Amino acid sequence: MATITAFHSADEEAKPGQKRMHHTNDSCTEGQKIAAAQRQESTGGYRRCVDCSRMDEIEALRAAAAR
């Protein structure tokens, strides 16, 4: 589990507005479904995936505890 550069799928804009999202964690199952060819390294202006938000938070807490 690691926080990574924000990315989204090139197919994202074909989805209804509410369902569009970007990912920021390499352990996200939704993010892993995005094929390399479809992967765009930016937020695309979409909201962040809920799973990624949760995992990034855990990641940040772990990093803080390790210091």
Binding mask 11-40 for Zn ion (x = CB under 5 A): ------------x----x-xx---------
Q: Which residue is nearest to Zn ion (CB)?
A: 49
Phi, psi for residue 9 in degrees, rounded to 5 = -90, 145
Task: Return the range that interacts with Zn ion (CB under 5 A); candidates 2-10, 11-19, 39-47, 51-59.
Answer: 51-59
* In the complex, minimum distance from the CB of residue 10 to Zn ion, in angstroms, rounded to a whole number: 16
Distances (CA, A) of 14 to 17, 36, 65, 66: 9, 18, 41, 41
* In the complex, minimum distance from the CB of residue 49 to Zn ion, in angstroms, rounded to a whole number: 3
Distances (CA, A) of 49 to 8, 23, 37, 66, 67: 10, 6, 20, 26, 27
- Is 49 a binder of Zn ion (CB under 5 A)? yes
